[in-house]
Amino acid sequence: MTEIVEKLYKTGDLSDSELKSLIECGDEKTAELLRKYADETRQKHYGKKVFLRGLIEVSSYCKNDCLYCGLRRSNKNAERYRLSREEILSCCETGYELGFRTFVMQGGEDSSFTDDFMCSLISEIRQKYPDCAITLSLGERSYESYKRMKDAGADRYLLRHEAACGELYSKLHPSEMSLENRKNCLKNLKELGYQTGAGFMVGAPYQTTENIIEDLRFLQELQPQMIGIGPFISHHDTEFAECENGSLYLTLRLLGIIRLMFPKVLLPATTALGTINPQGRELGLKTGCNVVMPNLSPVKVRKKYDLYDNKICTGEESAECRGCLERRVNSAGYEIVSERGDFIK
Ligand code: 5AD
Ligand code: FES
């Protein structure tokens, strides 16, 4: 199996059958080699730097009904909130003082966040913090909406494709959502000049190795600047309540593979990875990740942004994620920097 890792390291690609054997390989020596090459590759392009993204969870209202997500509209037990303009600006102020140079405004698909509201907010943040990047993660919107927000000053957009295989996509989403539209949104975002992030959950219900290979092929076609992957984690109020969580080791293998296939990509060690294992994010950083996304949301709403069970960084103790993550990043042997952390061309 180590020859396959060598080949991936040297050429940045593998055949489908080689990918399949590597994705399914539980061998420790292979995992260690993959980790070593993934780390070498990230260090070649980004050194020991880890970029911070301050995550502001702006709304837990969502008009969508994705079967895996705790915020799905049919979850009547979900507690809903939306942050006001002032609250969001105050998160940015706190974040800036803590050294954040990217703000990520993420939320469910909430129609209260109109283009007018968003554009005026984005312009104000752009003006107040000219040295910061503004990232949006607000789901599927029209070309016109993406364009207006880009013109107002947004730089990046995160929209996971979730599943590149139509059959799997439709098992994870209600019938009114389509993979075609999702892909179209991603195409529009790239065309408009956003640094674009796509990605998927690892170990989602019904997901096969072939599905994962299709995800990787889709990412090769799209060439996003960011790739977000994390383990699927069940939520007690969804139809997938009884499904098994994605595995730490499969997620780490995929992070390593992604780093070697996309040497310069911005790759976060996600909160979900830190949720399934207390050392998950540190292990991610050692396996090619170069981004962490501490929670900047007001502590009083954190528990309500309840995508999956046992999400970390939601308790009182987490009021200062920045410090916690800094210690974690240092313990893994890397260094947090106070920079925008743009994609390097
Ligand atoms: N487990 C893991 N990740 C999830 N997401 C939503 N629900 C879950 C879950 N149960 C991810 C989706 C979405 C991102 C914001 O969170 O991939 O794109
Ligand atoms: Fe959020 Fe540790 S990173 S509490």
- DSSP characters over 132-184: SEEEEE-----HHHHHHHHHHT--EEE---B-SSHHHHHHHS-TT--HHHHHH
pLDDT, average across residues 197-207:
98
- Radius of gyration from C-alpha coordinates of the chain: 19
Residue-wise pLDDT for 153-192, tens only, equals 999 999 999 999 999 999 999 999 999 999 999 999 999 9
Find out whether the beta carbon of 295 lies less than 6 Å from any atom of ligand 2: yes
Q: Is the pTM of this model over 0.95?
A: yes
Find out whether the beta carbon of 276 lies less than 6 Å from any atom of ligand 2: no
Nearest ligand to the CA of 273 is 1
Find out whether the beta carbon of 313 lies less than 6 Å from any atom of ligand 2: yes
* pLDDT at residue 131 is higher than 90: yes
* pLDDT at residue 92 is higher than 70: yes
Ligand 2 geometric centre to CA of 313 (Å):
5
Beta bridge partners of 202: 231
pLDDT, average across residues 278-300:
96
Q: What is the dihedral of CA 71, 75, 77, 81, to 10 degrees?
A: 40
Ligand 1 geometric centre to CA of 306 (Å):
10
**Contacting residues for 23 by C-beta, under 8 A, at least 6 apart:** 209, 212, 213, 250, 253, 254, 257
SS (H, E, C) 171-213: HHCCCCCCHHHHHHHHHHHHHCCCEEEEEEEECCCCCCHHHHH
Nearest ligand to the CA of 325 is 2
* pLDDT at residue 201 is higher than 90: yes
